[in-house]
């Protein structure tokens, strides 16, 4: 078990959603619930009442209309047995409810809710909240808010529970913290280098020979360029994520797309003495943002040049586009278009493959520091493809090259823009 937290919140310190959920029991919520019940066929259930002595059930076994409450809601007896569960609780937690309620943190919160007393004659008992991690059947971070319902007899006390799964929010928080930490580190490295050389020039510049001075200036220029690339990539990634929920609407001819990419990269291959091949099927169209798909292919080609080449060995890159085969389990549906970049370079170990699209992740095996990139290229690719409803698969092995496949859905079934 992991760290747990238990807190009793006063009535005036409730989060808004909790206050709305439970305060509704004492005011308009009961009226709406009663109206809904009157529309049903008899017999009508007894409706809880609120008086100076607090919220109470007129009969020990009277049900609460919790199906009308937002969120996942349970009604427990004083021993923690489930008396009622609304549909959302059943759908979200199902058979895990028992394990959740048996957790020591949940038991402690239940005891606290049963002991809690209203602060004033017109107040409800305070809410008791707890957050904990349940490790089985899969790790989940759960938040429970509990409020006791007074009854004339102790054995008739009930407890309302609102449950929420905060696992995804916790993962996102961790990712944000990791991103800030990695970004800070990546920015600090070239800044520290620049600062060091500036200090060296400031303190010893008058006695420094011209060759050393020029060497320092060259390194400073390289670090400045690295810093600019990193900032540009971060800004581009931010822009991509800002409209990631909007599906592209333009229809793009793949031949035109490839022509743009070739115009960008052909001079680079001429300079480096590498070979670039093109394999393109006819009449291919995709629904895409052309600029973003150009960026995807440029990033993949840049990675091939940066990490694939080995000294003393012929190196070639093949850029291709073709129709995806039918009944291919690698993709979410039949059909679609495949864009790819394949090289015959050094390849990489299998353990790198699952992490290639993580921000700032770099394959540094046998790569000189000067060749290392920002570690953001494939992260940008992933977010662009998420927007396009596409997929990325990378296959590689040491000494056998790397193949990056981009799958894009057929034009006729590209999803409409999400709101």
Read off the tokens for 120: 């004033």
Q: Which of 131, 146, 117, 99 is closest to 53 using CA atoms?
A: 117
Three-state secondary-structure class, residue 297: helix
Q: How many CB atoms lie within 10 A of CB 101?
A: 20
Distance, in Å, from the CA atom of 386 to the CA atom of 380, rounded to the nearest integer, reads 10
- Per-residue pLDDT of 328-369, as tens digits, reads 888 888 889 999 999 999 899 998 898 888 888 878 665 555
Task: Return the pLDDT at 60.
Answer: 52
Residue 345's Cβ-count burial label (10 Å; 0-12, 13-18, 19+) is buried
Low-confidence residues of the chain: pLDDT under 50: 1-59, 413-414, 416-419
With b for 16 or more beta-carbon neighbours within 10 A and e for fewer, the 266-291 pattern comes to eeebeeeebebeeeeeeebebbbbbe
pTM: 0.55
- Per-residue pLDDT of 374-419, as tens digits, reads 778 898 999 999 999 999 999 999 989 999 999 999 886 445 444 3
Q: Domains along the chain?
A: 5-165 (3.30.450.20), 167-242 (1.10.287.130), 245-419 (3.30.565.10)
Task: Return the pLDDT at 271.
Answer: 67
């Amino acid at each position: 078990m992991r760290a747990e937290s238990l807190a009793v919140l006063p009535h005036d310190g409730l989060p808004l959603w909790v206050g709305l959920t439970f305060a509704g029991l004492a005011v308009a919520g009961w009226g709406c619930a009663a109206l809904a019940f009157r529309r049903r066929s008899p017999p009508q259930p007894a409706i809880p009442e609120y008086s100076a002595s607090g919220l109470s059930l007129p009969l020990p076994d009277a049900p609460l209309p919790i199906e009308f409450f937002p969120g996942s809601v349970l009604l427990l007896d004083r021993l923690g047995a489930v008396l009622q569960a609304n549909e959302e609780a059943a759908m979200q937690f199902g058979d895990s409810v028992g394990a959740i309620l048996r957790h020591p943190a949940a038991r402690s919160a239940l005891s606290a809710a049963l002991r809690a007393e209203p602060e004033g004659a017109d107040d409800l008992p305070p809410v008791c909240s707890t957050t904990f991690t349940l490790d089985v059947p899969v790790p989940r971070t759960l938040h429970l808010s509990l409020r006791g319902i007074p009854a004339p007899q102790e054995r008739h006390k009930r407890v309302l529970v609102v449950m929420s799964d905060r696992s995804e929010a916790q993962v996102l928080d961790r990712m944000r913290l990791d991103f800030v930490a990695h970004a800070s580190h990546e920015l600090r490295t070239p800044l520290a280098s620049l600062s060091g050389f500036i200090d060296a020039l400031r303190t010893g510049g008058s006695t420094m020979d011209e060759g050393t001075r020029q060497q320092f200036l060259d390194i400073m220029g390289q670090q400045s360029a690295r810093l600019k690339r990193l900032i540009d990539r971060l800004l581009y990634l931010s822009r991509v994520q800002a409209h990631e929920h909007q599906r592209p609407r333009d229809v793009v001819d793949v031949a035109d797309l490839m022509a743009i990419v070739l115009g960008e990269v052909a001079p680079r291959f001429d300079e480096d003495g590498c070979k670039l091949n093109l394999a393109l099927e006819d009449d291919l169209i995709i629904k895409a943002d052309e600029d973003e798909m150009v960026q995807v292919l440029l990033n993949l080609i840049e990675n091939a040049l940066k990490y694939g080449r080995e000294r003393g060995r012929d190196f070639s890159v093949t850029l291709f586009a073709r129709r995806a085969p039918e009944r291919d389990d690698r993709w979410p549906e039949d059909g679609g278009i495949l864009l790819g970049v394949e090289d015959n370079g050094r390849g990489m170990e299998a353990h790198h493959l699952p992490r290639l699209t993580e921000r700032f992740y770099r394959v540094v095996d046998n790569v000189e520091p000067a060749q290392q990139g920002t570690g953001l290229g494939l992260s940008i690719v992933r977010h662009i493809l998420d927007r396009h409803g596409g997929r990325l698969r990378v296959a590689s092995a040491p000494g056998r090259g790397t193949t990056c496949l981009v799958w894009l859905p057929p034009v006729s079934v590209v999803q409409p823009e999400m709101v």
